[in-house]
Structure 1
Amino acid sequence: MTGAANGIGRAIAGRLITDGWHVIAVDISASGLESLRTTMDTPGRLELVVGDVADRATSVRAGDQAEQHGRLTAWINNAGIEIDEPAHRVSEERLRRQLDVNLVGTMWGCAEAVQRFMASGTAGSVCSVSSIQATRGFPGAFAYAATKGGINALTRQLAVEYAPLRVRVNSVLPGGVRTAMTQTDWAGAPDPESAQRRDDSMHLRGRIAEPDEIAAVVSFLISDDASFINGQEIVVDGGASARCVTFPADVDVLAAVRGVGGESDDADS
């Protein structure tokens, strides 16, 4: 699985190990992966691959390492970055980086997985972490939304093409998720409490998700219990996308669009 060092990815890695999987954890952050290793008391069940998912060689190394322990049976694409820039302020460098990590990196992961499933005759499963920003408009998410929409399209295309080989491909679409990066974003807002209330109020539960709640769905989708689920976009957003959301009166949407956004190292929403 990719993007394993922080946030949603870290929770997924922990859940998979608990569920009995042998996990090959991929991330660009060597220190983040080492931190993951120290928190997982599971000798021999977690291995690390440091690399940039935008480089196809990273997926190849991860696949090679997995097959040292038998057949590859599941692949999770979670690595992603979010750089909030509206169309009129977007830089070419940041746009291309989001495309490379979020979309191209996912494509390399999918390609590596299905090639190995075919070679071994495995009825494998791929699960990619997308976002409700692929299906709903959010200010500032010009490039990010496009990359997540691309992941949803990949999910459908791959599911159709490889279904005859009993390969399943699905995606998970989180809403807001409580990660360290989310909390940092709140802390950096002019009014941190208002920022948190805004995000919480989008969801019918009145709060954003915990990373473990996303991890539980991912673990289910790659398991045999989900054997009849294929080509689907599973929304895990606490009901946020079930209604038309309006911004609270104290949020200046135009100022938010014109403002300078931040960058996060995993896909929190």
Structure 2
Amino acid sequence: MTPPSFYTLCYMDYQRFLKELPTLYRHWGTEQVQPKSDRFQAVLSQVRGMTTPNVMQLLNCAIACMEANEIYCEVGSFRGSTLIGALLDHGDRLAYAVDNFSEFDPSGEGEAILAANLESFDLAEQVCFCNQDFEAFFYDLGQLQGDDRIGVYLYDGAHDYRSQLMGLLLVRPFLADQSLIIVDDSNWSAVQQANWDFIATHPQCRLELDLATPENGHFTFWNGLQILSWDTRRTAPCDWEEIQTHRDRDLLNAIYNLHFEFEQQREKLISHRS
């Protein structure tokens, strides 16, 4: 598929998304939350994925609030459940999907399974799939020098601190002036800290929803979702006290100490080799 190219900048309506999202669920705000529509559960009965109908409904709602000339982009597609959930009944939307299948693909058939699943739901022509590391993807996207703008971005790649932060930093130049960033596996400390460090350094960004779950693989929002809005009209930084409240000192100390442990191990290795 030829990568899409657009020339008119528009604005993903994230405020509409935040208003409409609760109306699409039963028992919103409780552990009994579930989509009113059963179409997402039907997808999961055909496509094995590490997600839930709740997550798929949320992505689908976000796609509906994009401008017509904006792109959906996700890093970490696995077998396509989130991708299918997002695009379901949105035949006019286009997407970038990025995965190098470095995890959860012992048979080496991940890309073929993903492609077959997209074909099953008649979505193959809407998706530009890139089998590569996400850092390489964003480098290549920048080399195209197009005017593509991402209205909704799902990051579900590696969730160590550096990968999480890079996943946010690298998408920044391609975001629409108003857009949504959706981060999976936000129960994890490294994910939360990277998100808050990104917010702290970018006045355009705010945390809108924190959909934590009691455990990984939970039937509500799997391993947690954090929903960030991006709005270039914002110029004032996030409140300093709020940023400090979300500093995970144990994690930051662990990252700090890891530096010294690594350097000591490397010195021993170099000494042993010589």
TM bucket by the smaller chain?
0.3 to 0.5
Structure with more relative contact order (C-alpha pairs < 8 Å, separation 6 or more): 1
The answer to which structure has the higher strand fraction is: 2
TM-score by length of 1: 0.43
Q: TM-score, normalised by structure 2?
A: 0.42
Larger Rg: 2
